[in-house]
Amino acid sequence: MTMNVLGYAAPSAKAALAPYQFERRDMRNDDVGIEILYCGICHSDLHEVNNDWDRNSIYPMVPGHEIIGRVVSVGPDVTRFKPGDQVGVGCMVDSCQNCAACKQGLEQYCEKGPTLTYDDKDRYDQMPTYGGYSEKIIVREKFVLRIPEGLDLKGVGPLLCAGITTWSPLRHWRVSEGSNVGVIGLGGLGHMALKLAKALGANVTLFSRSPGKEQDARSLGADNIVISTDGEQMAAVNNKFELIIDTVPYVHDLNPYLPSLSINGTLVLVGLLGNLEPTLNTVPLIMGRKSVAGSAIGGIAETQELLNFCGQHGITADVEVIKIQDVNEAYKRMFKSDVKYRFVIDMASLKS
Amino acid sequence: MTMNVLGYAAPSAKAALAPYQFERRDMRNDDVGIEILYCGICHSDLHEVNNDWDRNSIYPMVPGHEIIGRVVSVGPDVTRFKPGDQVGVGCMVDSCQNCAACKQGLEQYCEKGPTLTYDDKDRYDQMPTYGGYSEKIIVREKFVLRIPEGLDLKGVGPLLCAGITTWSPLRHWRVSEGSNVGVIGLGGLGHMALKLAKALGANVTLFSRSPGKEQDARSLGADNIVISTDGEQMAAVNNKFELIIDTVPYVHDLNPYLPSLSINGTLVLVGLLGNLEPTLNTVPLIMGRKSVAGSAIGGIAETQELLNFCGQHGITADVEVIKIQDVNEAYKRMFKSDVKYRFVIDMASLKS
């Protein structure tokens, strides 16, 4: 049994998104049926649609993994949700649940690979997964997040990808009151990193190439801005940061940032997939027990922790809400970084 | 006031070492005077003599920073040592004692730079520092280590450099009973890493390019040997190691080792100073929250901790004892890795 759903899909690689009618599986016993209210547009949606990462993408592709909705139905084994609940779905909808990573609640690192919310295949019936640019989605209960009351739902979707991607390293590297945290790049991820690090009590510095971002950075939570091309400003933050979150998604030189890590400090890459060019010089790493690390989204438990934290602190992403009919235009603007700081699709527009 | 001391020195870069009579400072109030019994030969002695690291080396240069000796005199402010005590001096003889690193007991990362045991300048009188290939040395009490009773002193010197260089990351990354630890390279550092990791209760694997090292590696403490050029053997240790200590001092590709790190695992470089060639690919880092880090020797407190641990566990380095007159020949053999696993100079030979 399947159900017929309307969404927007890319019919082939690099093609514009267009309305698409498709089949979702019917509910399993541990599934939650969700009516989608909002879906954020992640930079990776564009990469996936374009097949930039060469992942044998499946078309037509319905993107979207920053999903906010309302429960409309639950399978008989579902215990934590009921119709009417506000829920979210992020980048994953399943994982093996058995490997060392899954057992630690780090499903994003599932040794067999998590099932991605779209452009993947269901672990049981091998049906393609379709994302949040659509009316409804069916998701295994374990991968459904509870959205706390009191947040403006429009800005919550991006917490499920941009938010958790920066939250997970902040928590893993134990950022707390008084920690010195650097953030490289001010986009969807960077703006969340500023807000979350600040809310954790850290002293937060934005590294930016453009002086023009100072005002915005400060209003998002940055205590300081360092222009990364200014040698004097960089020297002034020598040995400062316990953690630097590097959100830049394109090739860039990490070496200038390493001296600004404190002893035992870590620069964590969350946006750059590929070869480091130019290559790293190891001397600053060895001469200060510094690390270069990577981190991907976050586990389900820590995503729920983030949502609860955001509920307590009133944190949402800064978003620009669009109609689904404007998604291709939004992709073009996102490609030019012309958004503060995340597009979110109001899914009610799908019916218009 | 100074004192006249006999040693062996390199008169200029790349020159052979020869007998050399030189001045050491007289005792300050917090100094310990040490008669040197043994001094290990570290691979870096060769690099320093050759000025390979382009550090504006000072010649004549008396190398040696794995020093074991006996206290012969103490300044009036010295409280922890008395004549007759067995002591050691490692890579550092002083540091600023005031920066964040020094205050954490991590003098090796002193923000103003520690004073190195040789090829450096004293912080107070600017006299060149001269190392352990000599009769006597004068060292500030804080940088003098106590050697536990019961160890064969011949094998203790290398603990002060090769030993602490591997001990520090083992402790920092909390290796304990049941941890999975990989070690890359079986030289002076590698053989200490195997012994120490094993004594900490870890399950220890040596990565090696040569199958011929299996027997030795097992007798030193390795539970397993993985031939790093064998794809099948490498695949069998996928996701296994919480910590890999990479002791290889020359350029080599780190990428093949990253998949063998566990989630949250760290590969720590302790031997390779310079650019990573080929460059790192970030995907395995991001897809498993893995780190590439560096680490340099260790602080004074953790060096004492190591010595105490070695005293309790009866651990020393495997050494080949030579006369000082054979030091140039030893350098040639060390350059070819023809030593198991460290040369140590019996300083009594200086008098013959």
Please count the residues of chain B: 352
Q: How many CB atoms lie within 10 A of CB B141?
A: 18
- Name the pLDDT band for A11 (thresholds 50, 70, 90): very high
A228 in Cβ contact with A252 (< 8 Å)? no
Whether the per-residue pLDDT at A189 is higher than 90: the answer is: yes
> Do A168 and A157 sit in the same domain of this protein?
no
Q: What is the CATH number of the domain that holds B151?
A: 3.90.180.10
* C-alpha–C-alpha distance, residues A49 and A66, integer Å: 16
Question: Which residues in chain B have Cβ-Cβ distances shorter than 8 Å to A264?
Answer: 172
* C-alpha–C-alpha distance, residues B156 and B302, integer Å: 15
List the beta strands (DSSP E) in chain A: 2-9, 18-25, 31-41, 67-74, 86-89, 92-94, 115-116, 136-140, 145-146, 180-184, 203-208, 224-227, 241-246, 261-269, 291-294, 319-323, 342-346
B111 CA: distance to closest CA in chain A (Å)? 8
pLDDT of the residue at B55: 74
Whether the per-residue pLDDT at B345 is higher than 80: the answer is: yes
> Do B35 and B179 sit in the same domain of this protein?
no
Q: Which amino acid is at B257?
A: Y
Pairing type for strands B115-116 and B92-94 reads antiparallel
Task: Judge whether A230 lies within some domain.
Answer: yes
B309 in Cβ contact with B315 (< 8 Å)? yes
Three-state secondary structure readout of B99-152: CHHHHCCCHHHCCCCCEECCCCECCCCCCECCCCCECEEEEEHHHCEECCCCCC
* C-alpha–C-alpha distance, residues A22 and B40, integer Å: 73
Residue of chain A minimizing CA distance to B271: A286
Q: How many CB atoms lie within 10 A of CB A312?
A: 11
> Do B117 and B21 sit in the same domain of this protein?
yes
Task: Judge whether A311 lies within some domain.
Answer: no
If you search the block for the tokens 């031997």, which residue do you land on? B271
Whether the per-residue pLDDT at A1 is higher than 80: the answer is: no
Please list, residue by residue across B96-126, b when 16 or more beta carbons sit within 10 angstroms of its beta carbon and e when fewer do.
Answer: beebebbeeebbbbbeeebbbbbbbebbeee
A115 in Cβ contact with A94 (< 8 Å)? yes
Fill in the DSSP letter of residue B69.
E
Pairing type for strands A203-208 and A180-184 reads parallel
Q: Which amino acid is at A248?
A: V
Cα distances (Å, whole numbers) of residue B93 to A17, A220, B53, B113:
67, 47, 20, 11
The predicted-structure confidence for B104-122, as pLDDT tens digits, reads as follows 999 999 999 999 999 999 9
> Do A220 and A169 sit in the same domain of this protein?
yes
Residue of chain B minimizing CA distance to A293: B291
pLDDT of the residue at B352: 83
Say if the Cβ atoms of B101 and A277 lie within 8 Å: no
Describe chain B by its helix, strand, coil percentages, rounded to 5.
Answer: 30, 30, 40
Please count the residues of chain A: 352
The predicted-structure confidence for A18-47, as pLDDT tens digits, reads as follows 999 999 999 999 999 999 999 999 999 999
Say if the Cβ atoms of B285 and A276 lie within 8 Å: no
The residues with which A186 forms a beta bridge, in sequence order, are none
Whether the per-residue pLDDT at A55 is higher than 80: the answer is: no
Say if the Cβ atoms of B283 and A295 lie within 8 Å: no
pLDDT of the residue at A123: 97
Task: Judge whether A119 lies within some domain.
Answer: yes
pLDDT of the residue at A310: 98
> Do B189 and B95 sit in the same domain of this protein?
no
Q: What is the CATH number of the domain that holds B240?
A: 3.40.50.720
A325 CA: distance to closest CA in chain B (Å)? 34
B277 CA: distance to closest CA in chain A (Å)? 7
The structure's pTM equals 0.96
SS3 A332: helix
pLDDT of the residue at A52: 86
Residues of chain A whose beta carbon is less than 8 angstroms from a beta carbon of chain B are 100-101, 104, 106, 109, 111, 168, 172, 239, 262-264, 266, 269-270, 272-296
| Residue from B173, B246, B263 to probe the interface with A (highest A Cβ count within 10 Å) | B263
Task: Judge whether A49 lies within some domain.
Answer: yes
Q: Is the dihedral of CA A297, A299, A301, A302 positive or negative?
A: negative
Whether the per-residue pLDDT at A54 is higher than 80: the answer is: no
The torsion region of residue B192 among left (phi > 0), alpha (psi -120 to 50) and beta comes to alpha
Q: What is the mean pLDDT of chain A?
A: 96
* C-alpha–C-alpha distance, residues A51 and A57, integer Å: 6
Task: Judge whether A129 lies within some domain.
Answer: yes
Say if the Cβ atoms of B276 and A279 lie within 8 Å: yes
Q: What is the DSSP string of B220-237?
A: HT-SEEEETT-HHHHHHT
Question: Which residues in chain B have Cβ-Cβ distances shorter than 8 Å to A266?
Answer: 291
Task: Judge whether A94 lies within some domain.
Answer: yes
Mean per-residue pLDDT, B137-147 = 98
* C-alpha–C-alpha distance, residues A196 and A243, integer Å: 13
> Do A108 and A157 sit in the same domain of this protein?
yes
Of A266, A275, A282, the CB nearest to B274: A282
Mean per-residue pLDDT, B298-323 = 98
> Do A149 and A267 sit in the same domain of this protein?
no
Domain that holds residue B168: 162-294
> Residue A292, class by beta-carbon neighbours within 10 Å (0-12 exposed, 13-18 middle, 19+ buried)?
buried
Whether the per-residue pLDDT at B1 is higher than 80: the answer is: no
Residues of chain B whose beta carbon is less than 8 angstroms from a beta carbon of chain A are 100-101, 104, 106, 109, 111, 168, 172, 239, 262-264, 266, 269-270, 272-296
Strand order of the β-sheet with B180-184 is A224-227, A203-208, A180-184, A241-246, A261-269, A291-294, B291-294, B261-269, B241-246, B180-184, B203-208, B224-227
pLDDT of the residue at A53: 80
Residue of chain B minimizing CA distance to A53: B283
* C-alpha–C-alpha distance, residues B196 and B221, integer Å: 8
* Cis previous bond, B256, omega within 30: no
> Which secondary-structure segment (H or E) carries B44?
helix B43-49
- Name the pLDDT band for A255 (thresholds 50, 70, 90): very high
Say if the Cβ atoms of A293 and B296 lie within 8 Å: no
The torsion region of residue A171 among left (phi > 0), alpha (psi -120 to 50) and beta comes to alpha
> Residue A156, class by beta-carbon neighbours within 10 Å (0-12 exposed, 13-18 middle, 19+ buried)?
buried
Of A111, A277, A294, the CB nearest to B290: A294
> Do B154 and B302 sit in the same domain of this protein?
yes
A2 in Cβ contact with A23 (< 8 Å)? yes
> Do A112 and A224 sit in the same domain of this protein?
no
> Do A217 and A276 sit in the same domain of this protein?
yes
Residue of chain B minimizing CA distance to A251: B282
> Do B251 and B144 sit in the same domain of this protein?
no
Task: Judge whether B311 lies within some domain.
Answer: no
How many domains are contained in chain B? 2
Say if the Cβ atoms of B285 and A294 lie within 8 Å: yes
Q: What is the mean pLDDT of chain B?
A: 96
Instruction: Record the tokens describing residue A213, joined without a space.
Output: 């971002």
> Which secondary-structure segment (H or E) carries B247?
none
Mean per-residue pLDDT, B258-273 = 96
Cβ-Cβ pairs closer than 8 A, A with B, add up to 129
> Do B79 and B183 sit in the same domain of this protein?
no
The predicted-structure confidence for B31-82, as pLDDT tens digits, reads as follows 999 999 999 999 999 999 999 877 789 999 999 999 999 999 999 999 999 9
Pairing type for strands A241-246 and A224-227 reads unpaired
Mean per-residue pLDDT, B246-251 = 95
Fill in the DSSP letter of residue A181.
E
